Amino acid sequence: MENIQKIKLKLFICSFSFLIVYFSVAFSMLMIEPKEKKIIQSNFKITEKSQKKRGNIYDDNGYLIATTIRKYDLIINPSLLRDPKKFELEFKKIFKNKINFNFKNKLSSNLKYLKLKKNISLKDYYQILKIGEPGIRLEENYIRKYPGKSLAAHIIGKVDIDGKGISGVEKKLDDKLSSSKDIYLSIDSGIQNIFKQILLEQIKKFQANAGAGIIMNANNGKIKSIISLPDYDNNINNNLLEKQVFNNATKGLYELGSTLKIFTAAMAIESGKVKDDQLIDVSSPILLSKSQKIRDIKKINFPINLPEIIVHSSNIGTAKIASSLGHNIQKKYFNLIGFNEKVGIEIIETSLPSIRDDNHPSSLMSKSYGYGIQISPLHLTKATAIALNGGKIVNPTLLKKQSTPKNSIQVFSNETSKKLRSILYLVVNDKNGTGKSAKSYYYPIGGKTGTAKKLVNGRYSETENIVAFTGGFPINKPKYVFTIVIDGPKPQKFSANRNTAGWVIAPIVGKLVNRIAPILKIEPLNYESSELDLKKYKIRGATL
Amino acid sequence: MIKTTHVLLLISILGIIFFNYEIKNNYHNNEKEILNLKNLISEKKQDIKLVKAELAYLSRPERIQSIAKQQLNMKEILPTDVWNINDISKLYFEKN
């Protein structure tokens, strides 16, 4: 009996110890699992950069202007490869020799990191994993793409390799974009395209160096289009020329000549120093110094009034108006329309105007017709908007949704603004106007031409011009204002050897307005000038 | 010494352990599947982004314009093509 008892005990101990072993094995299997899972995960999950996904940029109509696309690069660690030759063979088989990689000894070297192929698909990656070599992984990269290519390239800007904005909207609104928020711009891609084509054609026709153009809502400052030529494909980062990347429209400073007469007229009317019908003698040039004279291209032998001075674009008349106003009034209004500061817009490429600041009478007079004052086309657009929209300050913006301040400051009175609109209407629609080739038969346009001698190395060139045109449409109640600047147009046979704004820019203004106004939902008007709510000034010709 | 209850207890413990292991195993398999699907979703999202970018590239105004002009013989809209709806209805009623 005792024997049986002993055997039972031994059996019990045996089975007990077996169970302990069994349980411990089972238990350890359960414990091993999580570790395995981690390995699987790391093989599965692609090494991801901590960088967040950057927001997209859209235009006013929801057209995608900038987006970030993920791509995978194949990375291997050659020092871990067991059979480099076999790997090379298999690798080439997968890509069917469509690789431009020079394998020479690189696979059998002691390198720890080798970018074997850029932009690889996940399907190909799994094929490569099947070769069975260790040390193969994917690296996730993000690249910024601009589907519109050169479309609004200057204002959109660029990002660096780490995806941080370095210019344009990409830089100024980097915080918003890098926190994955999308941005909607007020830019209209369609208008942008039409404007660019028209401007480019004219630049080529006149063999000019560069050009710029802006179309902006006159009341809320929303910019519909900004062009700077020459431009570039935003997807390309290499071999870009300085003049391609430079934003002429917002950063370029120019003496914009007679276009500034608008503001001299505005100051004169607003301050009440010059009446509409006050006659000013413009028959003889003004002598500033022995070498400097203020002259007019068209000599007018009889005294003329303010509207006539602007329509004929008389430098003598404008200079005389300015001298009756004085430095203080000129400075006050230049500051009010924003010539003393950078324009606050959602890009970094803006400039501070450069204005001659002395109390010499010649400074006062020359600034009145646009010499000795360098501003950007954007400054001019903003100022034109203020002059034409009823005198309210507008702040240009590139954003679709931008709250406009309710109580905007009134720079000019409504009455002054109406007088200016009436005068600018005549510049384009009167037979004596300098901008008469800008006329459209469907939309009333008003504007002012400006031709300035180009400053080359501190001296005024006798041959090179900067030509400009600024105005608004429909001029009886302006919804949009625009500015066009062309740098260095050459005289052409078809332009009677002229290279002034009236010949270079005015002809494209009517064409531009006819094409974009329907897109901007402005109804064409079968108009008679007498029906428009404008003042009727009588303009006499240069010879009576 | 070893009672039937002990044997039953042991068997049930073994059963529970096996069952537990199965659950855990399933759980891990499902987790893998979820991870798989998550990767797939992010993959597809990126694909959509890429397709959208390609669509924007193909529908850029420059390209559409040249297609409209050259392939479809379309012309630019003139202001005379734009009509006010009231004018059209007026014209219609005048005719009839």
The ipTM of this complex is 0.79
- Choose the mutation target among B10, B16, B46 for the interface with A, i.e. most A CBs under 10 Å: B46
Nearest by CB to A147, from B35, B56, B78: name it. B56
Hey, is A215 helix, strand or coil? Answer: strand
d(CA B53, nearest CA chain A) in Å: 6
3-state secondary structure A34-76: HHHHHHHHHHHCCECCCCCCCCCEECCCCCEEEEEEEEEEEEE
Nearest by CB to A26, from B1, B21, B81: name it. B21
Chain B interface residues (partner A, CB cutoff 8 A)? 1-2, 10, 17, 20-21, 24-25, 28, 31-32, 35-36, 39, 43, 46, 49-50, 52-57, 59-62, 65, 76-82, 84
User: Which candidate, A195, A169, A215, places its Cα nearest to that of A381?
Assistant: A215
Q: For the segment A142-169, what is each residue's pLDDT rounded down to a tens digit? A: 889 999 999 999 999 999 888 899 999 9
User: Which candidate, A390, A452, A438, A470, places its Cα nearest to that of A214?
Assistant: A470
User: In this structure, are A213 and A122 located in the same domain?
Assistant: no
Compare A299 and A203 and report the one with higher pLDDT.
A203
Does the distance separating the beta carbons of A147 and B31 come in below 8 Å? no
Dihedral sign (CA B18, B24, B29, B33): positive
A87 sits in the region (left: phi over 0; alpha: psi -120 to 50; else beta) called alpha
| Contact in structure between A385 and A473 (CB atoms under 8 Å) | no
Q: For the segment A292-333, what is each residue's pLDDT rounded down to a tens digit? A: 888 888 889 999 999 999 999 999 999 999 999 999 999 999
Give pLDDT, residue A33: 55
User: In this structure, are A136 and A278 located in the same domain?
Assistant: no
Burial class of residue A540 in the structure, from the number of CB atoms within 10 Å of its CB (0-12 exposed, 13-18 middle, 19+ buried): middle
Task: Using pLDDT thresholds of 50, 70 and 90, give the confidence band for residue A102.
Answer: low
A193 at interface of B, judged by CB pairs closer than 8 A: yes
At A346, list the tokens. 């959602």
In the predicted model, is pLDDT for residue A41 greater than 50?
no
Does the distance separating the beta carbons of B21 and A30 come in below 8 Å? yes
Question: Whole-structure pTM over 0.90, yes or no?
Answer: no
Tokens 């630019």 found at = B76
Rounded to the nearest 5 percent, the helix, strand and coil shares of chain B are 80, 0, 20
User: In this structure, are A394 and A487 located in the same domain?
Assistant: yes
| Contact in structure between A210 and A229 (CB atoms under 8 Å) | yes
Angle at A182 between CA A179 and CA A185, to 5 degrees: 135
Count of domains in chain B?
A: 1
Burial class of residue A486 in the structure, from the number of CB atoms within 10 Å of its CB (0-12 exposed, 13-18 middle, 19+ buried): buried
Taking CB atoms and an 8 Å cutoff, what residues of chain B touch A12?
Answer: 1-2
| Contact in structure between B52 and B45 (CB atoms under 8 Å) | no
| Contact in structure between A76 and A163 (CB atoms under 8 Å) | no
B38 sits in the region (left: phi over 0; alpha: psi -120 to 50; else beta) called alpha
Q: In what order do the strands lie in the sheet with A480-487?
A: A223-229, A210-217, A480-487, A459-473, A446-456
Burial class of residue A462 in the structure, from the number of CB atoms within 10 Å of its CB (0-12 exposed, 13-18 middle, 19+ buried): exposed
Euclidean distance between CA atoms A301 and A283, whole angstroms = 5
Task: Using pLDDT thresholds of 50, 70 and 90, give the confidence band for residue A456.
Answer: confident
User: In this structure, are A464 and A442 located in the same domain?
Assistant: yes
Residues 6+ away with beta carbon under 8 Å from A293: A285, A286, A287
User: In this structure, are A324 and A272 located in the same domain?
Assistant: yes
Segment A44-67 shows an average pLDDT of 76
Compare A135 and A177 and report the one with higher pLDDT.
A177
d(CA A147, nearest CA chain B) in Å: 4
Of all residues in chain B, the one with the smallest CA distance to A58 is: B56
User: Which candidate, A368, A345, A344, places its Cα nearest to that of A273?
Assistant: A368
d(CA A164, nearest CA chain B) in Å: 20
Residues of chain A above pLDDT 90, percent? 59
| Contact in structure between A136 and A74 (CB atoms under 8 Å) | yes
User: In 10 A of CB A498, how many CB atoms?
Assistant: 14
Give pLDDT, residue A82: 85
User: In this structure, are A421 and A519 located in the same domain?
Assistant: yes
Q: Residue A287: what residue type?
A: L
d(CA B36, nearest CA chain A) in Å: 8
At A126, list the tokens. 């799994």
Q: Does a structural domain hold residue A377?
A: yes
d(CA A280, nearest CA chain B) in Å: 41
Give pLDDT, residue A109: 77
In the predicted model, is pLDDT for residue A46 greater than 80?
no
Does the distance separating the beta carbons of B79 and A518 come in below 8 Å? yes
Domain that holds residue B35: 4-95
Q: Does a structural domain hold residue A41?
A: no
Tell which A residues from 325 to 344 touch B, by Cβ distance under 8 Å.
Answer: none
User: In this structure, are A291 and A229 located in the same domain?
Assistant: yes
Give pLDDT, residue A44: 47
User: Which candidate, B84, B65, B85, B60, places its Cα nearest to that of B75?
Assistant: B65
Give pLDDT, residue A155: 94
Give Cα A177 distance to the centre of its chain: 17
Domain boundary among A184, A216, A243: A184
Domain boundary among A184, A218, A236: A184
Q: Does a structural domain hold residue A13?
A: no
Query: Across all residues in chain B, what is the average pLDDT?
Result: 88
User: Which candidate, A76, A56, A75, places its Cα nearest to that of A67?
Assistant: A56
Compare A42 and A377 and report the one with higher pLDDT.
A377
Burial class of residue B11 in the structure, from the number of CB atoms within 10 Å of its CB (0-12 exposed, 13-18 middle, 19+ buried): exposed
Euclidean distance between CA atoms A444 and A473, whole angstroms = 6
Of all residues in chain A, the one with the smallest CA distance to B26 is: A33
User: In this structure, are A270 and A130 located in the same domain?
Assistant: no
The CATH number linked to A299 is: 3.40.710.10
In the predicted model, is pLDDT for residue B52 greater than 60?
yes
Euclidean distance between CA atoms A345 and A172, whole angstroms = 9
User: In this structure, are A106 and A81 located in the same domain?
Assistant: yes
Does the distance separating the beta carbons of B62 and A70 come in below 8 Å? no
Nearest by CB to A33, from B2, B28, B54: name it. B28
Segment A58-81 shows an average pLDDT of 89
Task: Using pLDDT thresholds of 50, 70 and 90, give the confidence band for residue A50.
Answer: very low
Domain boundary among A184, A206, A223: A184
Give pLDDT, residue B7: 87
A163 sits in the region (left: phi over 0; alpha: psi -120 to 50; else beta) called left
User: In this structure, are A207 and A163 located in the same domain?
Assistant: no
Of all residues in chain B, the one with the smallest CA distance to A197 is: B62
Task: Using pLDDT thresholds of 50, 70 and 90, give the confidence band for residue A98.
Answer: low
In the predicted model, is pLDDT for residue B83 greater than 90?
no
Count of domains in chain A?
A: 2
Domain that holds residue A71: 57-184
Nearest by CB to A33, from B24, B39, B50: name it. B24
Taking CB atoms and an 8 Å cutoff, what residues of chain B touch A188?
Answer: none
Residues 6+ away with beta carbon under 8 Å from A98: none
At A291, list the tokens. 């070498």
In the predicted model, is pLDDT for residue A276 greater than 90?
no
Give Cα B53 distance to the centre of its chain: 15
User: In this structure, are A132 and A211 located in the same domain?
Assistant: no
Distance separating the N- and C-terminal Cα atoms of chain A: 151
- Choose the mutation target among A33, A61, A72, A443 for the interface with B, i.e. most B CBs under 10 Å: A33
User: In this structure, are A180 and A194 located in the same domain?
Assistant: no
Segment A219-225 shows an average pLDDT of 94
Q: Where are the beta strands (DSSP E) in A322-458?
A: 354-355, 373-375, 446-456
Q: For the segment A433-454, what is each residue's pLDDT rounded down to a tens digit? A: 999 999 999 999 999 999 999 9
Does the distance separating the beta carbons of A69 and B77 come in below 8 Å? no
Pairing between β-strand A373-375 and β-strand A64-76 as defined by DSSP bridges? unpaired
Range of A43-47, A120-124, A410-414, A521-525 with top mean pLDDT: A410-414
Does the distance separating the beta carbons of A23 and B61 come in below 8 Å? no
Give pLDDT, residue A42: 46
Q: Residue A355: what residue type?
A: I
Residues 6+ away with beta carbon under 8 Å from A509: A428, A435, A438, A440, A445, A447, A469, A471, A482, A484
The CATH number linked to A148 is: 3.90.1310.10
Give pLDDT, residue A256: 94
Taking CB atoms and an 8 Å cutoff, what residues of chain A touch B57?
Answer: 147-149
Does the distance separating the beta carbons of B43 and A122 come in below 8 Å? yes
Taking CB atoms and an 8 Å cutoff, what residues of chain B touch A192?
Answer: 61
